[in-house]
Structure 1
Amino acid sequence: MTTDKASTTSSGERNRLSGKLGTAGVVFMVVAAAAPLTVVSGNIPLAIGLGNGAAAPLGFVFASLVLLIFSVGFVAMTPYVREAGAFFTYVGTGLGPRAGQGTAFVALITYTAIQLGIYGFLGWAANDTVVAMGGPALPWWLYAGAALVAVAALGYRHIELSSKVLAVALILEIGVVLVMNVAIVAAPPASAVAGLAHTPSAPADAGAFGIAVLFGVTGFIGFEATAVFRDEARDPNRTIPRATYLAVLIIGAFYTVSCWCLVYAWGPDTIRQIANRYLSNGGNMVLDTARFYTGPVLAGLMQLLLLTSLMACVLSFHNIVARYQFVLANFGILPRAFATSHQRHGSPYISSLFQTATAVVLVILCAISGASPLVGVFGSMAGIATVGIVMLMLLTSIAAAVFFFKAPRRAPGRAITTRWMPVAATVLLIFILYLVLTNFTTVTGLGAGVSTLLAIIPMAAFATGMVAIKKTSLANLSVLSAAGE
């Protein structure tokens, strides 16, 4: 893309990003956003300890199935959605411009929140790693600031550079977990308990299956962003569906197998008690498991790769938010300057710079507030993002169902994939939203009052977007509905 002139009129040619990302490149982007090593280290012990113990892998299986069912309707709509922007363009096509803008506001809040949360997690993890290696303890925001600079530089340049960086980081983090999993399977069951000073003597009662599902779903945040890179894909109508299905299958299989291996490593009778012991003491169950089965070298490497996993995650979300803003500017929702692409890099550089500035301000505010980087920053932001992402998927499933029910001729002979699968996804996602809201303090780690306020934020964003729509934006967004006819 060489032009730097933004157009937001419905009749004019919209600015578009350019690129030649193949299926693998898009998959690397979105799987990196899901941060597999971070989920294995964080979500899986939580699903085991707070959820249903040795049966926790079933929670990840169920979450994977729900996301696959959701993906069917999402993919079926892809040929009818001509604009990048993922959820908001799908909802705008199926439910109209007001719902589309409301969804866009939810998406911005959701991805900005998770990006800020990851900066907090990364700052804490970096300091913990440095201290473990004998270095000085430094404020978390110093490490977050260094990461911000690197993300700003990569986000400013062409998307293919970010794709290559993410590919390397992703291969390494998945590789180190696979080595640990193989070592666990090769050893006798429950071998790790021999390294405990005190072994639990009786099995703990199983917890709620719903909590395991909840942490399974939150581990997928970012997979749906395949459609955000539509304009930079080599062949969008083929690349985006393939990347979506591959992302769900890869993430789901990786989480399920890794969770099962962790249960096998410690034994089904004691795994839940051991997981809760680690959660109470603040230790890292996965690092200790790797240390026992593969030795200190791989465990040390895993600790370092946790940092690259977090870095890859925040870079991916930075790219996602920058592209959301680019598309929203094309529709007149944000200032036109945001729809400007770099003459040489073809990147949404003004949107990227603004996203960097936003992150800097938010990190500074968190630092000044004295909030804990894990509970105060990551916990609260993960809570907002969890409600937001389930809302986004729910709205998209409803939009897909409405879109195809209104005009069955759009996909003759495909009623199951175009209509009934979105309906099934809608029902399942309502159930998951119920699980999220009824267990919300478990996600945030905060009190009921603060957690309630956080849960309301994505809902308030949707309502604001529905109401606060300008006439020009309404006209421009109406093009989405027209394009689907």
Structure 2
Amino acid sequence: MTTKTSAGGIAESADARHTLTGRLGPTAIVFMVVAAAAPLTVIAGTVPLGIAAGNGAAYPASYVICTVVLLLFAVGFTAMTRHIPGGGAFYTYVAHGLGRHAGLGAAFLALLSYTAVQGAVYGYIGAAINDLVTAHGGPAVPWYVYAAVMLVLVATLGYRHIELSGRVLGVLLVCEVGIVMVINLSVLAHGGEDGLSTAALQPANFFHGAPGIALIFALAGYIGFEATAVFRDEARDPARTIPRATYSALILIGVFYALSSWLMVSAWGDAGAVVKATEDPEGMITDTAVRYVGAAAGDLVQILLITSLFAALLSFHNVLARYIHSLGSSGALPASCGRSHARHSSPHIASVVQTVSAAVLVVASALGGLDPVTQVFAWFAGISSVGVVALMTLTSAAVIVYFRRTRKDVRIWHTAIAPGLGLLGLASLLVLTAMNLPLLVGGSDTLAIIIAVLLVAAFLAGAMVAVLRPHAARHTSTSDV
């Protein structure tokens, strides 16, 4: 009976599971990544918070710094992609670099982090739909009802072939980016409130206020960019597609955020932007649209904010399903999770598992009477922020160790200098995120401690699986693609 190496590297019979297939090119994968970043959601929600609680009018510079750090990280990440089979992304890289125990620890940390961010978005989208309906005279409906409807739609699309999700995400992404660009161009044409802002161009301004908080909010906008490697098995030509998609996604996200946040500041003036972001953060983008484009644009922003959140939900669902599929294939989770649909070539069982976990979060939040924005969104996003930065930091270290040990690539820039600089940058961001975690979860030190314990427990649980299941995720080949 023929055998093959699974995403996690363990050999198993060909009839034990179906493989994921697809012909995704760089453009389709970039759509997945940028959709997960939820551009309109970031501009509408994160940018005002960064301006108000961070470093004011200089906040746009935070996106430039984060983009540079992540591009340095991407140099080693994409160099390692050529030598790492399968679609496990961060956890697979950590396993090959730092060992199986650390790898499975990273895998379980990733599951917790991305499940948390998906739960956060379900809370936000439920509240956003209810606000839109009531604003137009409709009845008030509990947020979790709308969240449940969105969950069913996401589950349906996630169960089917990945290319269907790619097409849906492509349409939604074009719409949300389009409305922000219309607002940007209108502000640019009008010259802003007091002329175009120069605050972000003056380095001294960056250190005013709380630059650490600014960087944390900025970095949150990049969550999900590892999806470039997660979709490896469904890429047309992984060796070329993954690096191109990674660099393209980071540059597009960074330029879009920096440009849009700069024009948002310009729309209100340096001082006025801080006042507006502090007094009415949730209404800043809508009021900017009404002020510079017209009332219809304000209504359109509200609608597209919902589609932006839905796109993020679908993208995170796809990423999580492939994490679960990879862990099932490698023996870390039940083998059934590693099966794929005979007709759709999708990780259908992993998709169902992910749907159930999301439903549990929504139900638990509803039964707990949590506010969908100030508690569900803020708390779960706090968990995700720390977890994802920790994952990237571990991956940076794994890249350096892997190439130093294997010598599969001897280019000093790609295997040591760039990954080393990325590691320093990410480690600094991790420290900042951990130190400011209480602020991210509403000022509660107790809740911050609980979140920290959960993250550490998730990592240790993965390491324990490695101990209890010696054959799980034991790679047998790291040959070039």
TM-score normalised by structure 1 residue count: 0.92
Distance in 2, Cα, partners of 1:273 & 1:6: 50
Aligned to 2:189: 186
Aligned to 2:409: 411
- Cα 1:39–1:481 change in 2 (3 A) is same
Superposed CA offset, 1:57-110 (max 9, x none): 111111111111111111010001011110011111111111110010001001
In the alignment, structure 2 segments of 5+ residues that lack a partner are 196-204
Superposed CA offset, 1:109-144 (max 9, x none): 011111111000000111011111111111000100
- Cα 1:235–1:425 change in 2 (3 A) is same
Aligned-residue identity in percent: 46
The answer to whether the 8 A contact 1:81-1:480 is kept is no
Aligned to 1:88: 91
From 242, 245, 255, the counterpart of 1:243: 245
Please state whether the residue corresponding to 1:478 is helix, strand or coil.
coil
1:39 aligns with 2:68: no
The answer to whether the 8 A contact 2:33-2:227 is kept is yes
Distance in 2, Cα, partners of 1:421 & 1:243: 19
Distance in 2, Cα, partners of 1:6 & 1:236: 13
From 143, 146, 158, the counterpart of 1:143: 146
Aligned to 1:395: 394
Distance in 1, Cα, partners of 2:380 & 2:404: 36
Aligned to 2:199: none
After superposition, residues 48-59 of structure 1 pair within 5 angstroms as 48-59=51-62
- Cα 1:168–1:470 change in 2 (3 A) is same
The answer to whether the 8 A contact 1:97-1:480 is kept is no
Distance in 1, Cα, partners of 2:464 & 2:372: 34
Aligned to 2:201: none
Distance in 2, Cα, partners of 1:454 & 1:7: 28
Aligned to 1:457: 454
Distance in 2, Cα, partners of 1:460 & 1:484: 34
Note the C-alpha offset of 1:213. Answer: 1.0
The answer to whether the 8 A contact 1:22-1:239 is kept is yes
- Cα 1:90–1:484 change in 2 (3 A) is farther
1:75 aligns with 2:78: yes
From 237, 246, 255, the counterpart of 1:253: 255
Letter of the aligned partner of 1:350 in structure 2? Answer: I
Note the C-alpha offset of 1:470. Answer: 4.7
Note the C-alpha offset of 1:484. Answer: 7.8
1:209 aligns with 2:211: yes
Superposed CA offset, 1:256-294 (max 9, x none): 000100111111133212211114xxx411111111000
The answer to whether the 8 A contact 2:176-2:304 is kept is yes
Please state whether the residue corresponding to 1:269 is helix, strand or coil.
helix
- Cα 1:101–1:297 change in 2 (3 A) is same
Distance in 2, Cα, partners of 1:261 & 1:49: 16
Distance in 2, Cα, partners of 1:337 & 1:9: 15
Aligned to 2:323: 324
Please state whether the residue corresponding to 1:136 is helix, strand or coil.
coil
Letter of the aligned partner of 1:77 in structure 2? Answer: M
1:155 aligns with 2:158: yes
Aligned to 2:264: 262
The answer to whether the 8 A contact 1:19-1:231 is kept is yes
Aligned to 1:295: 294
Letter of the aligned partner of 1:190 in structure 2? Answer: E
1:65 aligns with 2:63: no
Aligned to 2:334: 335
Distance in 2, Cα, partners of 1:8 & 1:335: 15
Please state whether the residue corresponding to 2:226 is helix, strand or coil.
helix
From 224, 228, 250, the counterpart of 1:226: 228
The answer to whether the 8 A contact 1:265-1:289 is kept is yes
- Cα 1:261–1:149 change in 2 (3 A) is same
Distance in 2, Cα, partners of 1:232 & 1:421: 28
Distance in 1, Cα, partners of 2:452 & 2:438: 10
Note the C-alpha offset of 1:419. Answer: 1.2
Please state whether the residue corresponding to 2:54 is helix, strand or coil.
coil
Superposed CA offset, 1:465-485 (max 9, x none): 11332554x334231675589
- Cα 1:88–1:7 change in 2 (3 A) is closer
The answer to whether the 8 A contact 2:98-2:401 is kept is yes
Please state whether the residue corresponding to 1:102 is helix, strand or coil.
helix
The answer to whether the 8 A contact 2:338-2:347 is kept is yes
Note the C-alpha offset of 1:6. Answer: 12
The answer to whether the 8 A contact 1:10-1:475 is kept is no
In the alignment, structure 1 segments of 5+ residues that lack a partner are 193-202
> Higher mean Cα deviation, 226-235 or 455-464?
455-464
Letter of the aligned partner of 1:434 in structure 2? Answer: V
Distance in 2, Cα, partners of 1:484 & 1:402: 18
Aligned to 1:200: none
Instruction: Tell me the matched-pair count.
Output: 465
Distance in 2, Cα, partners of 1:271 & 1:428: 28
Letter of the aligned partner of 1:234 in structure 2? Answer: R
Please state whether the residue corresponding to 1:468 is helix, strand or coil.
helix
The answer to whether the 8 A contact 1:29-1:166 is kept is yes
Aligned to 1:172: 175
The answer to whether the 8 A contact 1:6-1:340 is kept is no
Distance in 1, Cα, partners of 2:375 & 2:165: 29
Distance in 2, Cα, partners of 1:209 & 1:174: 27
Superposed CA offset, 1:6-47 (max 9, x none): 998536457520001111110101110010000000111011
Distance in 1, Cα, partners of 2:210 & 2:383: 22
1:10 aligns with 2:8: no
Distance in 2, Cα, partners of 1:484 & 1:161: 30
1:478 aligns with 2:479: no
Note the C-alpha offset of 1:362. Answer: 1.7
The answer to whether the 8 A contact 1:84-1:229 is kept is yes
Letter of the aligned partner of 2:39 in structure 1? Answer: P
Letter of the aligned partner of 1:427 in structure 2? Answer: L
Distance in 1, Cα, partners of 2:480 & 2:398: 12
1:469 aligns with 2:471: no
Aligned to 1:199: none
Letter of the aligned partner of 2:475 in structure 1? Answer: V
Letter of the aligned partner of 2:382 in structure 1? Answer: G
Distance in 2, Cα, partners of 1:102 & 1:262: 40
Distance in 2, Cα, partners of 1:246 & 1:145: 34
Aligned to 2:117: 114
- What is the RMSD of the two structures over their aligned residues, measured on CA atoms? 2.2
Note the C-alpha offset of 1:374. Answer: 0.7
